[in-house]
Structure 1
């Protein structure tokens, strides 16, 4: 019996659609929540959060809350200390939920991260937090 021709099973490569990054929203006149992710060895995290609050205040934003994620020192050693908890969110799932609740409770217009964010982290965190997630480095780079 004759078999019909089989389709070629090689994967089809589709062109990746161009992703346009959303512009960094202006923080002037906006209520913001500051989010920081710090190593357990970094003792001056409170001073870094205060400096970020002063920078945002100078740009016309009003800080309505702060979330700090501390990464403790584990038996695994220092090599993991520089890595984020999650490549998608930078934070643990519990801290993301805590930040989302704080953003909702304070009606924050943005969540400003002290550490730099990748474009993917910005997209994921914006969806999870319910407000734009931006890094302080992006805000200071606008000038």
Structure 2
């Protein structure tokens, strides 16, 4: 995994981030990763192709929020998402990881070991979930 720090967003990262946020928000979100010291964005390559990314915001030295996590559809189900979360926890010595997600992605977090709590219908017709993982 490598940290992404380029001021210009690559087309591969732009595509991945569009899976994790509204397409019209991709540039704005990317700029936060480049400009804010509390945020970091990492990518993973397979055969020299960027296949995934994970973006986090550090709340303090031991807690982080996953802001974006995205994997190319053809690469999903291969453990890439789990390995990215494990990488972040080890690299930054994190004790707690949080994420807010939708019904579709909550299964991934639950499978990893996150405790999930429904936040209800936060947006019209869309149930959201708070996911929390504590490292023992």
Q: What's the TM-score once normalised by structure 1's chain length?
A: 0.31
**Which is bigger in relative contact order (C-alpha 8 A, separation at least 6)?**
1
Q: Which has the larger radius of gyration?
A: 1
Q: What's the TM-score once normalised by structure 2's chain length?
A: 0.32
